[in-house]
Copies of this chain bind each other. A is one copy, B any other.
């Protein structure tokens, strides 16, 4: 029902290897390099940092995030 170009999941796939930010429903945000992603929005990040209310609270060499917990994904992480 949609062309390849207009499909949101494809936009995420273009971000492979880039820094992205994943906001979960509980308010936590994970930033890291996108290594893998599927149609359920399950995502694998490497070199990830977890933020909560603006503070870094944990770091992960590789983390798998289950898609159904995700609120939004920002694809344009600004340089710090």
Q: Which residues of B contact A35 (CB under 8 A)?
A: 6, 11
Does A13 have its Cβ within 8 Å of any Cβ on chain B?
Answer: yes
Overall SS of chain A's interface? mixed
Taking a contact as CB atoms closer than 8 A, the residue among B6, B12, B60 that contacts A64 in the complex is: B12
- Interface residues contributed by chain A, number (CB under 8 Å): 43
Q: How many copies of this kind of chain does the complex include?
A: 7
Closest Cβ–Cβ distance, residue A13 to chain B (whole Å): 7
Q: Is the CB of A36 within 8 A of B63?
A: no
- Contact digits for A16-41, partner B, Cβ 8 Å, 1 yes 0 no: 10000000111000100001111101
Interface residues of A (CB under 8 A from B): 1-2, 5-13, 16, 24-26, 30, 35-39, 41-44, 60-76, 78
